[in-house]
A and B are shown apart, each in its own frame.
Chain A
Amino acid sequence: MIPEPGEGYVRLSPRKLLLDPVKAVGQAIVPVVIALVGISRSDTQFWPIIIPLAIIGPLLLGALPWLTTHYRLTATQIQVRSGVLNKTTSTAPLDRVRSVDLEASLMHRILGLQKVQIGTGVDDDRITLDALAAPDAQALRTTLLTRRAVAEQAAEHAARSDDLVTERSDEPVAPPPPAPAPAVPLAQIDWSWLRFAPFSLGRLVLVLGGLGVLSQFADDLPIWNEETATSVWQWLTQFAVAAIALVLSVGALVLWLVVSVAGYVLQWWGFRLVREHGSLHLTSGLVTTRSITVEEAKVRGVEITEPVLMRLVGGAELSTLATGVEDGVTQVLPPCPRDVAVAVGEAVLDRPGPLVEPLVEHGPKARRRAWFRQLRNALDVIVLLAVGWWWFDLTWWWLAAVAVGLLVLAAAAGEATYRHLGHALSADHLVAGGGTFARIRTVLETEGIIGWVVSQSWWQRRIGLADLTATTAAGAERVLVRDVRLDVAVALADRATPGLLTDFLAPARTPQPARSHARNSASNSA
């Protein structure tokens, strides 16, 4: 049971006593074993003292958090008291609660527990209750989210009656009952989406990292020394190198298929995205279950990402950009068909358009910049390689081949970058297209823009282009419109945040040709 408002402090679930000590023993086991081994070599007479200490110590330490953590709800606040020597009390006003996330690891789920994290709009300051019984956690989430709405209404009402002095404020005002707020499903898992799993390379980084760690161990294996390596190599070269390469790559591919599909299933099992109590609520996970809640009033926009491989099969990912969430960007959909991502994105934005409308292109100069930027990067690498080649005195043919490959890749990257480039202002939203290999479209409410940065490198100044950055508190805290003509950038910023730039605008120094002037003013007034 969660405490009613006004009741005293209560402890977390007593089942936490099973959770924490087990975790503590798990963490302590390595140092304890090492210590025991060290001691056993010197002396054995302390064993009867040490072994109970080694077991009871972690158990006691693990029990401490349960003994010392209490929480309670008041009519306006949630308060959490914790600590042994340094008592800390965290409080959060209910009307400031922005997100309530539930998470349960495998241990949590076996014990029927859930970890509750309450976000209050201040980025790093989240209140964590680890752990509550699962029904209590759900009840707390519902209570917090509905009470937030009531608290806000009450505050609004108070503000209104402050404004209207004539209104008799002593008149008893019954708080409006919380709306039933039926949950509107926005999306749920469709297992045909599994086909996108192998094309999503985000997980590949983890796999490679894992392999890296394994290779560390491989170095220590006794069989892996120079002699075996050479003999293995000789044995290998007896076979056709091509066949071996084929087997290896097929093996890697199969491994990747298994890992990526398994990862997708683990992460997105039972995925549901619903809208309730004015929040977006996401649940998913096979072993570790997550339940993430983002307040819709704090969602300032969305970002749709189509990584290059996913585009081949028509897939996309969707994230929301919100203020007051830990990292601001919350992935709300698994890799899924583009249509689904767009539909959910439009539901979140509450209007069609910004995610599909064509973008204004940035013109041939921007294309030149995109090519130039990528080619210059490639040239830098080639110069470095050339120095290395000269140093180690290697065959120049190889370098030439690598250089040509890099240049072709750079040209492709440049052209792709330009194709993804663009901007638009649609239905009160700033839309920025970008990304090198992935196509990324960022949509930000103009309400959420809290400043502008126009920056020009020396190269950009020469051809009249600029990078326009809209600063915001949501998501990655910036939305970049790259390589846009300076006057277009200024006009875009002016239209996105009317009034902000008015004081700082001046007529163009160089008069525009009459025809384009007429066209521009026509489209401005439109």
Chain B
Amino acid sequence: MTDVGGTAVLREPSQQVSPRAIPFWTVSALIGDAVLVLAATAAYVLVPGVPGWVGLLVVLLALLATVHVLAMPRIRFRVHRWEVTDTAVHTREGWIGRETRIAPISRVQTVDSRQGALMRLFGLASITVTTASAAGPITVDCLDQHVARDVVARLTAITAATEDDAT
């Protein structure tokens, strides 16, 4: 058997997530990082006799957090994409690494949607499509909530029509 290097590659899924995902990711990253940086600063100030270079580490941590809060949502918005055709669900996600997931709709078992408190504030929702494999759940983060509702309705209709036990 030879090394079959195909010339085809996977194209990116056609749909982008809601543009409101950028402020949502920014705010949630800000909350997480602020807690971390504040804790580090408090520890630095309160613990007596800490050498000076630890202060530099705290400043570095704050800088990294700033970069994370500013850059991550934008990169992630460019990377996150999804597509639901009549036969398959296709998503791409990640911001440092990349993860592409494809599952045939005939094998879909459940379709869930989820909306946290902060997500509701931004009018966003996530949907998760599971198959019979624990390794197979496909999540589309931060869709517009109306779009999410439509997608769930469509997927449920299609999966209800298939009779197989999907294993």
Contact = CB atoms under 8 A, between A and B. Distances in A.
Contact of A500 (B8, B87, B99, B133): B87
Contact of B2 (A360, A426, A456): A360
Interface in A463-521: 469, 471-474, 477-478, 485-488, 490-495, 497, 499-501, 503-509, 512, 516-517, 519-521
Nearest to B6: A491
A451 B5 contact: no
A357 B10 CA distance: 28
A503 B10 CA distance: 9
Interface in A212-266: none
Contacts of A428: none
A324 B136 CA distance: 17
Q: How large is the interface on B (under 10, 10 to 19, 20 to 34, 35 or more residues)?
A: 35 or more
Nearest to A491: B6
A346 interface: no
A149 B83 CA distance: 41
B7 A512 contact: yes
B6 A487 contact: yes
B4 A491 contact: yes
Contacts of B131: 450-451, 471, 473
A491 B5 contact: yes
B121 interface: no
Nearest to A362: B3
B1 A360 contact: yes
Contacts of B10: 454, 490, 501, 504-506
Given A357-B1, A473-B132, A477-B135, A453 B101 contact: yes
Nearest to A493: B102
Q: Is the interface of B mostly helix, strand, loop or mixed?
A: loop
B99 A455 contact: yes
A507 B101 contact: no
Contacts of B165: 121
Nearest to A519: B2
B97 interface: yes
A497 B166 CA distance: 15
Given A450-B133, A451-B104, A458 B6 contact: no
A477 B138 CA distance: 15
Given A491-B8, A503-B88, A507-B8, A454 B99 contact: yes
Interface residues of A, number: 60
B136 A508 contact: no
Contacts of B9: 486-487, 490, 505-509
A374 interface: no
B99 A488 contact: no
B1 A494 contact: no
Nearest to B95: A458
A453 B99 CA distance: 7
Contacts of A512: 5, 7
A437 interface: no
Contacts of B101: 451-454
What 10 A-B pairs come out closest when comparing CB atoms? A491-B6, A506-B11, A451-B103, A473-B132, A478-B135, A471-B136, A473-B167, A471-B133, A450-B107, A454-B100
24 contacts: A450-B107, A450-B132, A453-B101, A453-B102, A454-B100, A456-B99, A458-B97, A460-B97, A461-B98, A471-B103, A471-B135, A471-B136, A472-B133, A473-B166, A477-B133, A487-B7, A499-B87, A500-B104, A506-B8, A507-B7, A512-B5, A523-B4, A524-B4, A524-B6
